[in-house]
Chain A
Amino acid sequence: MPRQSGAFAIALLLAVDAGAAAAAEESYVTDPAHSQPSYEIRHTIFSTQRGDFTKSTGKITIDRDAKKGSVDVNIDTTSLRSHDPRLDSILKGEDYFNVAKYPMMTFKSTAMRFEGDRLTGVDGELTMIGVTRPVTLKVADFQCGENPFNKKPMCGAEVTTTIKRSDWGMKAGVGRSSGDDVKITIPIEAYRE
């Protein structure tokens, strides 16, 4: 009897799994508190500056069978924090993010990259201070599970890329007080809708 009920349970699980796979496209919304973008940039000859944006929103759709999907992220540039209070107003000012004129930074995907059935990258366009340029995001540790508290299905990942800020026309201080390369790291936690 126990063996039979065990077999039944496995059959049920397989059926549920098949059911889940049939619903090909899944839609996710990022949890902003657990998905804060951060950056790292060389400053002077020997320092590295780090900072983050505390406010962002993101929508992700993914179809693992068809290996496609979309990523749409908006970052509130007014939420920039450089970890150096003296710098915040400079970075939010006209020479850098000019947040009064460009309060939003956006990333819109053009294609998703898969290795096997694992998401490993996202090609897209980053719009910053009014300039749009192509960017490829590396996606590491993409995995899904559920939140143990609210039992909601969710996925997590670590997204990284390095851009040259001068490509977006943000040239102040390049080659003098600070670097051109900006390393961006975005942890992602997103709940299934």
Chain B
Amino acid sequence: MRRPTRPAGPQGCRVGALLFAVATLAATIGSAEAAEPVSIYRVDPDLTTAQFAVSHLGLSMQRGHFGRTRGTIVLDPEAHAGRIDFIVDASSIDTGWAARDTFLRGEDMFDTAHYPVVRFRSTRLAFDGARLVGVSGELTMHNVTRPVELYVARLDCGRDQESGRDGCGAEVDTTIKRSDFGMRYALGIVGDDIGLSFQVTAFRVSSDDEADEP
């Protein structure tokens, strides 16, 4: 697209002022219309599970989850826009076996003393019509940041009858290679492919609340 030529002289100034006024008007109308469709959600840690699955000895799929998560989701389905910021406390890793959890927190795996947080930040949201179907973003884990694509298998929004709050629930999954994040210990015994599966529940908040999170 050609750039508009810079207005020059008194006439250009008037045209510029007019354009500015039109643009401001358009933006005002636009934001008034957009105010409704943009929704901000806060992840409810108690109703959210970040689960992982990995092959062990090539014989079984072992699973665990991270007990502490938080995050913010902004969705504007009409504009096919939004953003997701999801944070996992790496030391909250939980496989139901204390000895294994200690090992996973240790230097050979997550090294949570140095890298306490696993974080996903979206770069682009993909919609099919008004439905969110995928999220491109960057995952930071073990001090390495790599691009990751998340697949949104389910997204239901509505009013929770118990709490009366508006919210959404989603099932999101992807597969990463732990070696891409520098976690190479015992490859071959414990698989490289890590299935990630998130059951996310998030409740709607006002835009004022968004600032303090995360």
Partners in one complex: yes
**What is the interface of chain A, defined by CB distance below 8 A to chain B?**
33-36, 38, 43-50, 52, 54, 81, 83-86, 141, 143-145, 147-148, 154-158, 176-177, 185, 187-189
Interface-central residue, B56, B60, B160, by most chain A CB under 10 Å: B60
For A31, give the chain B residue with the smallest CB separation.
Answer: B60
Minimum Cβ distance to chain B for residue A149 (Å): 8
**Among A48, A157, A177, which residue has its beta carbon within 8 angstroms of that of B60?**
A157
Partner of B62, one of A86, A143, A187: A187
Assuming the A-B contacts A36-B96, A46-B156, A48-B199, are A187 and B60 also in contact, with contact meaning beta carbons closer than 8 angstroms in the complex?
yes
Contact residue among B49, B59, B62, B160 (Cβ-Cβ distance under 8 Å from A44): B160
* CB pair A47 B59 closer than 8 Å: no
Whether the Cβ atoms of B161 and A48 lie closer than 8 Å is no
List residues of B (156-181) whose CB comes within 8 Å of A's CBs. Answer: 156-162, 167-171
B158 to A45, Cβ gap below 8 A?
yes
16 CB-based A-B contacts, threshold 8 Å:
A36-B63, A45-B158, A45-B161, A48-B49, A48-B169, A81-B96, A83-B49, A85-B46, A141-B60, A148-B189, A154-B59, A156-B56, A156-B59, A157-B60, A187-B63, A189-B60
Chain A residue with Cβ nearest B67: A83
- CB pair A147–B158 under 8 Å, yes or no, is no
Chain B residue contacts of A185, Cβ below 8 A: 63
Question: Across the interface, which residues of B come within 8 angstroms of A43, CB to CB?
Answer: 47
Contacts A47-B169, A48-B171, A148-B189; is A189 near B158 (CB within 8 Å)? Answer: no
Q: Which residues of B contact A44 (CB under 8 A)?
A: 160-162, 169, 201
Closest Cβ of chain B: how far from A80's Cβ, in Å?
11
Q: How far is the CA of A84 from the CA of B162 in the complex (A)?
A: 16
Let me know if A189 and B161 touch, CB within 8 A.
no
CB < 8 Å neighbour of A46 from B46, B49, B167:
B167
Question: Which B residues, 40 to 86, have Cβ-Cβ distances below 8 Å to chain A?
Answer: 46-47, 49, 51, 56-63, 65, 67
Are the CB atoms of B58 and A50 closer together than 8 Å? no
Among A33, A49, A85, A86, point to the contact of B100 (Cβ < 8 A). A33
Chain A residues contacting B63 (CB-CB under 8 Å) are 36, 38, 52, 185, 187
User: Which residues does chain A contribute within 8 Å of B61, judged by CB atoms?
Assistant: 141, 158, 187
How near does chain B come to A62, taking the closest CB pair, in angstroms? 15
State the Cβ distance, B14 to closest chain A Cβ, in Å: 54
- Known A33-B100, A81-B96, A148-B189; judge A46-B59 contact (CB<8 A): no
Measured in the bound complex, the distance between the Cα atoms of B100 and A141 in whole Å is 24
Q: Which residues B136-190 have CB closer than 8 A to chain A?
A: 156-162, 167-171, 189
Question: What is the CA–CA distance of A44 and B157 in the complex, to the nearest angstrom?
Answer: 11
Pick the most buried of B47, B162, B167: most chain A CB atoms within 10 A of its CB.
B47
Within 8 A of A (CB), among B83-108: 96-97, 100
Asked if residues B96 and A34 are in contact (CB atoms below 8 Å), the reply is no
Further 9 A-B residue pairs, CB within 8 A, beyond A36-B63, A48-B199: A45-B158, A46-B167, A46-B170, A47-B169, A47-B199, A49-B47, A54-B96, A189-B56, A189-B57
A178 to chain B, nearest CB (A): 10
The 9 A-B residue pairs with the shortest CB-CB distance, nearest first, are A156-B59, A46-B169, A156-B60, A54-B96, A46-B156, A47-B201, A187-B60, A33-B97, A48-B199
Q: In the bound complex, what is the Cα–Cα distance between A177 and B160 (angstroms)? A: 9
**Distance to closest chain B CB from A137 (angstroms):** 15
Closest to B65 in A: A83
Choose among B100, B159, B199 the residue with the greatest number of A CB atoms under 10 Å from its CB: B199
